[in-house]
């Protein structure tokens, strides 16, 4: 079942006082809401929390994620030529994720030419193999395992992961061009130009959360539960990554929400790559050995 964005329009006009304020613990003063969608005296942290809360509630609430234990899926990276718009190359990765005894676990298998690469993380220790041989901790694929594992668990966990401890939400006011003005501190207000269209919610993370301190922003059209666009700036970099989310499908008996396509765009609107998710299975029985060093490769 595809979730139509128009269905979320019924949320327009919900008073901010009806939304339960959750785990937001650090917000700074931010811009105003000229749309009148929220009460004029609503604190910025309440507006940010409410926008994320509406998104989560439209997907069944946090109970949906609490009942999510594992998944298997294929994610294909599609790279585009920005001049012609044609596909340059495609690379599928085969992924298993699970809430394990030590935390979030991930296993990913892929081919690079004739080489078969497996990366695994059991929530505590990472490992990687090349054609069945364990790689040393100096190898690129080994060093990237923890970051890759986090990404492949994080994306299917949105928006629920925005309720994790150590995630801070900041209401940035209204934006007339997503991403263009958000190169600075996401907790700092940006004056409205008078042509504002989108509610902008900045997301930052505590020092002990994740391996990279990337900065994210989610943009919501007034009255809609789903973000129109997501942007992020990677730690130590200046360039803004613009990501447009495609359709969301509800999968399995849990009706778990899965975004089946995300497109990366340049500031001028040219597509550079896409992540396409397929064969998503919710709560399959995955043996713990899959995530441990030496676990049998599925693709061989």
Report domain extents, the chain. 5-291
Among the ranges 184-188, 215-219, 274-278, which has the highest mean pLDDT value? 274-278
Distance CA 264, CA 136 (A): 32
Spell out the residues 6+ positions from residue 177 whose beta carbon is closer than 8 angstroms to its own.
Answer: none
Q: Do the Cβ atoms of 23 and 163 come closer than 8 Å?
A: yes
What tens digit of pLDDT does each residue of 142-186 get? 999 999 999 999 999 999 999 999 999 999 888 776 654 444 454
What tens digit of pLDDT does each residue of 118-147 get? 999 999 999 999 999 999 999 999 999 999
Identify which of 153, 146, 194, 155 has the alpha carbon closest to the alpha carbon of residue 173: 194
Looking at the domain that runs over 5-291, which CATH code has it been given?
2.50.20.10
Element holding 279 (H helix, E strand)? strand 271-282
Distance CA 248, CA 3 (A): 6
Distance CA 147, CA 211 (A): 7
- Pick from 10-14, 90-94, 213-217, 276-280: least confident: 10-14
pLDDT value at residue 175: 79
Residue 93 has pLDDT above 70, yes or no: yes
What are the CA-CA distances from residue 70 to residues 73, 99, 107, 114, 278 (Å)? 10, 6, 12, 29, 15
């Amino acid at each position: 079942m595809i979730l139509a964005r128009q269905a979320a329009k019924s949320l327009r006009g919900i008073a901010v006082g009806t939304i339960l304020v959750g785990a937001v613990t650090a917000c700074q003063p931010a811009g105003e809401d000229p749309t009148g969608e929220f009460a004029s005296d609503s604190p910025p942290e309440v507006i940010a929390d409410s926008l994320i809360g509406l998104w989560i509630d439209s997907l069944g609430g946090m109970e949906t994620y609490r009942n999510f234990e594992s998944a298997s899926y294929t994610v294909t990276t599609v790279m585009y030529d920005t001049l012609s718009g044609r596909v340059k190359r495609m690379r599928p990765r085969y992924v298993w994720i699970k809430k394990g005894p030590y935390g979030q676990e991930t296993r990913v298998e892929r081919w690079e030419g004739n080489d078969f690469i497996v990366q695994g993380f059991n929530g505590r220790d990472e490992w990687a193999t090349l054609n069945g041989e364990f790689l040393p901790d100096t190898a690129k694929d080994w060093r990237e395992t923890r970051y890759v594992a986090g990404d492949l668990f994080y994306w299917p966990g949105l928006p629920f992961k925005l309720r994790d401890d150590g995630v801070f939400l900041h209401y940035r006011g209204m934006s007339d061009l997503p991403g263009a003005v958000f190169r600075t501190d996401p907790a700092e207000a940006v004056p409205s130009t008078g042509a504002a269209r989108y509610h902008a919610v900045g997301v930052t993370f505590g020092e002990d959360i994740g391996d990279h301190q990337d900065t994210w922003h989610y943009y919501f059209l007034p009255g809609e539960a789903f973000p129109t666009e997501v942007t992020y700036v990677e730690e130590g970099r200046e360039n803004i990554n613009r990501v447009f989310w495609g359709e969301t499908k509800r999968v399995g008996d849990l009706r778990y929400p899965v975004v089946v396509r995300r497109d990366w765009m340049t500031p001028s609107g040219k597509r550079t790559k896409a992540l396409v998710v397929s064969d998503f299975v919710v709560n399959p029985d995955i043996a713990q050995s899959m995530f441990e060093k030496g676990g049998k490769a599925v693709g061989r």
